[in-house]
Structure formats: structure tokens, C-alpha cells
């Protein structure tokens, strides 16, 4: 094989940014980078164009400016004590051209490290904001929500006093029926900032319901009722998103077989018998740990199923539609709990407030990074990892 001819002599120096290349080749998330590798504002503009922005459009420039403002406000509102907001350099906080942050994020040196760390933090949040704003499904969220809840309304009824889950054969009384009809923008952003990929499409709980029954056996019966009503089937369940810390199915089967005939011949609703069956189930059951959510607290128990529903957008619903109707799958959650699990979730490590605080702590560390947290901590005379208020999501399925 002939050796390739030597290229013309160039003044370009051979150099490699090992940290940047390591991130690309190892699959490291952009949110975990501590710097970029841009040399000038010209590079920054090229970076922005490849990102997808037409910088010749005035609307695009306004979009970048708005994202910068939102990102700064988000960081100062969720991750930094108000008394220390001035620690963010004015060049970052009030940047005349937000593209300068890309340059600042690439500079290293004693005089520029503070600009780099704060610029990286703001850019990470801006990246999440751009993904939220570019998610086409969120643009049609009202139509999606209406179609999903229309299906749920067919099996969840209210008699003027309380809610029931029914498939036409079985009627299960609900202690609580909680609907998450929309995940707040700040909550979406907070959740994205915890994830390795932090894409809007990775948020699975934009919509969902939590069904709380008196006993765990009623949760099991509810699953069967949802299956008979065809809301839940093996074809529309996302198996990788199933989280079960509630039911030991083998132990439940053993108890159910024992009491099956008594259930069939009971007069009226067998609440007392179901409670007795739960006591035996808890005595037999092994702890369930089918959950990979690092923020769930000790003692939190639920069965969470993520379902895919085919959504139909008609031409009138679609902005700039040229090809007629559009169909796609959208995922939503159904979470089942018994009374005892629900009561534990109201306080302590299993509570929603504690759960959200753990999310804030994780996102703060990933966005600000250890070096910047240490600088903030030194400035206020405390620990950089000290918990701060944050989060705005309403309670609901996790």
C-alpha cells in the first residue's frame, strides 16, 4: 500500500483537548463538563449554528437572550441563597451577548476560572431550556392531556361522595385520586438537570394519576380492572419504567388463593376481609426494590407503571400542518398505593417534600459543580453542598 503524500506544510500546531475528547468518547453528559473548547467569539457563533440556531434571525437572538435570562433566574432562585446572588459575575449575569458565555466557558486561568465556572452553570441550564422549548409534544400538550384523561375518565367515576375505579364488573373505592395534569416548567427543568442525557423526551411523568386504596390487595385488583378495561396491557406498558416497591406477587398469590372463595361469597364489599388478607401478605412478603430512582426515600412504597397511549392530532390541531393527521405515542404514569404507604409519604424521608429536596441537591451539584459550590460555600462561611430551598412541583406520581 502506498503511503499517503505529506500535506503542505502548515503553521497549525498539533494539540488535543484531552478532557473534551474523553467526554465525547466515553459518553459523558454535557452537564458534567467543567469547560468547553472554543477559542473565540467566531468559534462560539459557529458552535451556535451547528447547535441549530440561525443567528441572522432576530427572533433567534431574542430566544437566546430569553433563555439566558431564564437560566440566570433559575440558578439564583433554586441553587443560590439570595444573599449570595452577587457572587455571579456581572459579565455572566448581564451578558450583552450570551454567546460570550461559550467563550468564557472555554477559558482557564486564575483570572478567568470564576467566569468559566459560572458560564458553564448558566449554559447547562440554557441547554435544558432549549430542549423544553423544542419538544413538539409539549406544544400539543392540551390535546394530549385531553385524550389521556378521556380514557381514564371511563374507568374512574365519582358518585358525589368519593371516587371509584370500575371496569363494569368490579367497583373499588378510592381513598385518594390525584391527577397530575401538567408538570410545571421549573419542575421539568429541574428533572432534566438530574439526568445524564437531560432531554425533554426523557421526562415520563408530564401526565399521570395516583390511585390510593385502603389495602395492597385492592391495588392488585385495580391492576386487573385496568387490564380488563384495556388501559393497561403488556403491549402498552414500558417495562423499563416499572417501579414496584409495593407488592410481592408470589406472597400475594399465596394469600389470594387461600381466601378466593371467601371473597366470591362475601356479602357486600369485603373491606374487612381484604384488610385481613393484607395483614397476612405483609407477614409473608419480601421487601420489593424494583426501583432505580435515587431520590426515593426509605419507606416509600408504590407500584408505578408507565403506559404508552396513541395520540391522534388532526390537521386543525397541528401548527403549519401540511401532511394531514399525525399519530404518535405519549407516555404517562399510573401509580398505585395503599393507605399505609400513602400515610408514610406525607412526612419524613418518604415525603414528597424530602423527595424534591433530594432532586434539588442533585441538580445543584451537577449544574454548579464541586469547584463552584466550594467557592460559594467559602464566601458564605459554610458548606458548598448545604441544602437550599428549591423546586415548585405539586405532589403527584413520582
Phi, psi of 384 (to 5 degrees): -65, -25
Please tell me the number of Cα atoms within 13 Å of 257 on its side-chain side: 6
* Contacts of 237 by beta carbon, 8 Å cutoff, 6+ apart: 305, 306, 307, 308
Check whether 389 has a pLDDT greater than 50: no
Listing DSSP states for 173-217 in one string gives E-SEEEEE----HHHHHHHHTTSSS--GGG---SSEEEEEESSHH
For residues 15 and 311, the model is more confident at 311
Point out the least confidently predicted range of 123-127, 357-361, 387-391. 387-391
- Per-residue pLDDT, averaged over 303-326, amounts to 77
For residues 64 and 297, the model is more confident at 64
* Contacts of 9 by beta carbon, 8 Å cutoff, 6+ apart: none
For residues 241 and 212, the model is more confident at 212
Confidence of residue 392 (pLDDT cuts 50, 70, 90): very low
Output the pLDDT for position 203. Answer: 61
Q: What is the mean pLDDT of the chain?
A: 82
Confidence of residue 299 (pLDDT cuts 50, 70, 90): low
Output the pLDDT for position 84. Answer: 87
CB of 100 within 8 A of CB of 41? Answer: yes
For residues 351 and 181, the model is more confident at 181
CB of 200 within 8 A of CB of 131? Answer: yes
Output the pLDDT for position 386. Answer: 43
Quick check: pTM over 0.75?
Answer: no
Confidence of residue 285 (pLDDT cuts 50, 70, 90): confident
Amino acid at each position: 500500500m502506498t503511503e499517503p503524500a505529506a500535506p503542505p506544510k502548515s503553521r497549525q500546531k498539533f494539540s488535543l483537548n484531552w478532557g473534551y475528547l474523553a467526554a465525547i468518547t466515553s459518553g459523558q453528559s454535557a452537564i458534567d463538563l467543567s469547560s468547553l473548547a472554543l477559542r473565540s467569539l467566531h468559534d462560539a457563533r459557529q458552535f451556535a449554528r451547528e447547535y441549530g440556531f440561525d443567528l441572522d434571525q432576530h427572533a433567534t437572538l431574542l430566544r437566546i437572550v430569553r433563555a439566558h435570562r431564564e437560566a440566570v433566574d433559575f440558578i439564583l432562585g433554586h441553587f443560590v441563597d439570595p444573599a449570595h446572588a452577587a457572587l455571579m459575575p456581572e459579565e455572566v449575569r448581564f451578558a450583552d451577548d450570551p454567546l460570550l458565555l461559550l467563550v468564557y466557558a472555554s477559558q482557564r486561568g486564575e483570572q478567568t476560572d470564576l467566569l468559566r465556572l459560572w458560564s458553564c452553570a448558566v449554559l447547562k441550564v440554557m441547554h435544558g431550556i432549549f430542549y423544553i422549548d423544542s419538544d413538539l409534544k409539549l406544544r400539543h400538550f392540551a390535546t394530549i392531556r385531553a385524550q389521556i384523561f378521556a380514557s381514564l375518565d371511563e374507568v374512574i367515576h365519582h358518585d358525589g361522595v368519593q371516587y371509584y375505579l370500575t371496569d363494569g364488573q368490579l367497583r373499588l373505592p378510592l381513598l385518594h385520586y390525584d391527577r397530575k395534569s401538567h408538570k410545571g416548567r421549573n419542575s421539568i427543568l429541574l428533572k432534566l438537570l438530574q439526568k445524564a442525557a437531560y432531554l425533554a423526551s426523557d421526562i415520563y411523568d408530564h401526565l399521570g394519576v395516583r390511585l390510593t386504596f385502603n389495602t395492597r390487595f385492592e391495588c392488585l385488583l385495580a391492576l386487573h380492572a385496568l387490564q380488563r378495561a384495556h388501559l393497561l396491557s403488556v403491549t402498552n406498558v414500558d417495562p423499563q419504567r416499572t417501579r414496584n416497591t409495593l407488592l410481592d406477587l408470589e406472597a400475594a398469590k399465596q394469600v389470594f388463593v387461600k381466601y378466593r372463595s371467601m371473597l366470591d361469597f362475601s356479602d357486600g364489599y369485603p373491606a374487612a376481609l381484604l384488610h385481613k388478607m393484607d395483614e397476612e401478605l405483609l407477614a409473608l412478603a419480601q421487601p420489593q426494590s424494583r426501583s432505580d430512582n435515587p431520590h426515593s426515600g426509605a419507606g416509600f412504597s408504590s407500584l408505578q407503571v408507565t403506559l404508552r397511549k396513541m395520540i391522534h392530532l388532526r390537521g386543525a390541531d397541528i401548527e403549519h400542518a401540511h401532511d394531514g393527521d399525525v399519530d404518535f405515542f405519549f407516555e404517562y404514569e399510573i401509580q398505585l398505593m395503599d393507605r399505609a404507604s400513602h400515610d408514610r409519604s406525607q412526612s419524613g424521608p418518604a415525603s414528597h417534600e424530602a423527595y424534591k429536596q433530594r432532586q434539588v441537591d442533585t441538580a445543584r451539584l451537577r449544574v454548579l459543580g464541586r469547584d463552584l459550590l466550594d467557592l460559594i460555600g467559602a464566601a458564605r462561611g459554610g458548606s458548598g453542598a448545604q441544602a437550599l430551598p428549591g423546586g415548585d412541583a405539586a405532589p403527584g406520581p413520582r
